[in-house]
Amino acid sequence: MVHSNKAGHSRWNVVLILAGMWILLAVQLGCQLQTQEKRIVVEGRLEGQDGAFQPVDPTVLRLTHQQDEVRPRLVFLEGGGMQHLQKLTLEAVESTGLPFAEEFFLVSLSRAANRPGVPEPFQYRTNRPGWLLNHVGDLAVLPIRKDDVSLPTNEFNDFPAAQLRPAGGTYLARIENDDRHFPWFISTADSARCVNLPLNLTLMAPPNGEATDCFDMQTLCGMFLTNFAVATTVAVTDLNLPLVQVSVGNHRLYVVPHMTFGPDSTVGFGMIYAVNVAGNLGANLARAVVYVPISLHFRIGASTTEFDIFVDPLSGLGSTPSENINRVTIAYNGIFGGIMAENLQSAITSTLSSFTLPPTAIGSTEEVLALGFSLAAPSPGSIPLNDHSVIARPVQRSTVGQTISNLALNLPGVTVTNLPGTPAPIAPSVLADGSVTLRQNFGGTMRDITIAPVQTANEFEVYFLY
C-alpha cells in the first residue's frame, strides 16, 4: 500500500508560510521603527480621595523625550494636594521609534495622618507650615524602561495603613544610562574617584573594611549628621534652665530628592537633620523634635563642565535670603508649650543666620565639595545651560510590597563632658565599637565628646540629569 504525504507536506507548508509572515512583519516593523522619529511620553499619576474620602481627579506629572529636542528631565510637586493617596501609576502613554537608553522613575513621599477631628500627636512651630510634612515620610519608587514595542506600566498601592495619607513631594525623572552619578559608597580601592576625608571632618568611622573614608553620598550625609549632632548636644549641655532638665538624642538625617533655590530655581537636593528633645519638670515630660533642612545647590561654573556648589543655609548666599531657615520646624507636645517652641525656633534660626561654612586648608568648604563631586562623579562634558537637573534617589530602585522611609542615617546619641582647666585637645579616634571620641574646645570650654556609631537606614544616590 502506498501512503500519501500530501497532508504532512501541507502542514509543513503552512508552518513555513506563517514563519515567513512573522519574519516579514518583524523586518517591516524594524524598518518602521528605524525610520520613525524617536519619542516617548510618560505620565506619573496619583490617585486617591479628599479629606472626606470622596474621589478626586488624579494628579498627573508628565515628561516627554523627543529626539533632538531640549525637554525637562525632571518635574515635581511639593505636595499639599491629595489628602488620601491610594495608588501610584507610572506609564508610557505614547511612543514612536526605537527606545532611548533610559529609565523613568516616579518617587513619591506620603505620610500617615489622622482623619479630620482627631488630634495629631504634635503641634508645629515654623514659618513654612506644611513644608516639613511634605518632605519626611514614606517613599514609594516606581521605575519603567521601554525596551520593545509595548508601552510599559508600573503601579503601587501597598501603603502602610493610615486614617489619611496626604501626598507629599513627588518627583518624575528621566535618567539616561550614561548620566553622571554620585554613589552611596566609593571604595578606597577606586583611586580615580576616591577623595579621602579626614576623621576630624567626618566624625564617623570609615565603612567596614575601609581604612579611610572616601567622599560619597554616605559620607556627605554622615558629615552633616555628626557635626550637627555634636553642635546640638553641646548647646543643650550649656543650657541653664531653672527646674527643667533637657536632653537630646536619636539624631537622624532624611534625604529630600529635589530642592530648588532662589528666583532662578537653582537645582539641588536636600537633607533634613532631626533630633529628639526631652524636658523633665518634676513628673511632667515635654517632648519636641527639631527639624533643620539643609540643601546643596548646583550652578554651572566658569568652566561650564563643572558645577559651583553652595549650601542653604550654611553658605554666604549674598543678597538672596536663605529659604531653609524659614523651614526650620519644631514639633512639640506635653508641657513643651508654644512659647518654648518659639524660643527654640528663634535660637536655631538666629544661629543659622550668622553661620557660614569655615575655610579648609585647600579652599572654601564649597570649593572642596565641588572638587569632591567632580572626582566622585566625573563630568561627561559641558553642562547645558537650560537642560540640567539633579535628583537624589533611593539605591533601592523599586519598592515592591511596602514603602521605605526617606530616612538615610541614624545616630543614637552624643555624650559631652565639660572639663575644668585647659587640658590639651585630643584628635578624633575610632574606638573598637565604631564610636568616635575626641577632646575639643567648644565655646571656650574644653570637652570630651563621644559620638555613637552612625547607622544606615536607607541608601541614596545622586544623578545629574543632562
pLDDT digits over 380-393, tens only? 999 998 889 999 99
| One domain for residues 159 and 212 | no
Is 450 inside a domain boundary?
Answer: no
| One domain for residues 64 and 157 | yes
Give the pTM. Answer: 0.90
136 three-class SS: coil
| One domain for residues 266 and 127 | no
Element (H, E) at 344: helix 338-354
So what's the pLDDT on residue 243?
Answer: 67
So what's the pLDDT on residue 240?
Answer: 72
| One domain for residues 192 and 335 | yes
Q: Give the tens place of pLDDT for each residue, 273-285.
A: 999 998 887 766 7
The answer to whether residues 257 and 393 touch, using CB atoms and an 8 Å cutoff, is: yes
Beta strands in 213-369 (DSSP E): 213-214, 245-261, 266-281, 284-300, 307-312, 329-334
CA atoms within 13 A on the CB side of 324: 29
Angle among Cα 158, 163, 169 to the nearest 5 degrees reads 60
Last residue of a domain, one of 141, 176, 211: 176
Is 434 inside a domain boundary?
Answer: no
So what's the pLDDT on residue 242?
Answer: 66
| One domain for residues 194 and 142 | no
So what's the pLDDT on residue 29?
Answer: 43
| One domain for residues 281 and 328 | yes
| One domain for residues 152 and 243 | no
Residue written as grid cell 496626604: 166
Q: Which residues of the chain have pLDDT under 70?
A: 1-35, 241-243, 283-284
CA atoms within 13 A on the CB side of 422: 1
Q: 16: which 3 cell numbers?
A: 513555513
Is 451 inside a domain boundary?
Answer: no
| Cα-only R_g, the chain | 27
Q: In what order do the strands lie in the sheet with 39-49?
A: 59-66, 39-49, 84-96, 153-156
The answer to whether residues 66 and 92 touch, using CB atoms and an 8 Å cutoff, is: no
Is 314 inside a domain boundary?
Answer: yes
So what's the pLDDT on residue 30?
Answer: 47
109 three-class SS: strand
Is 33 inside a domain boundary?
Answer: no
| One domain for residues 221 and 234 | yes
Last residue of a domain, one of 151, 176, 201: 176
Q: What is the DSSP letter of 164?
A: B
| One domain for residues 147 and 289 | no
φ, ψ of residue 130 in degrees (nearest 5): 90, -20
Domains contained in the chain, number: 2
To the nearest 10°, the Cα dihedral for 435, 440, 445, 447? 20
Q: 400: which 3 cell numbers?
A: 515592591
| One domain for residues 172 and 186 | no
| One domain for residues 305 and 212 | yes
Is 15 inside a domain boundary?
Answer: no
So what's the pLDDT on residue 2?
Answer: 47
Domain residue limits at 99: 39-176
| One domain for residues 202 and 108 | no
Which amino acid makes up residue 374?
A: S
Last residue of a domain, one of 126, 144, 176: 176
Q: 292: which 3 cell numbers?
A: 533643620
Is 128 inside a domain boundary?
Answer: yes
The DSSP bridge partners found for residue 143 are 105
The whole-angstrom separation of Cα 375 and Cα 383 is 16
Is 273 inside a domain boundary?
Answer: yes
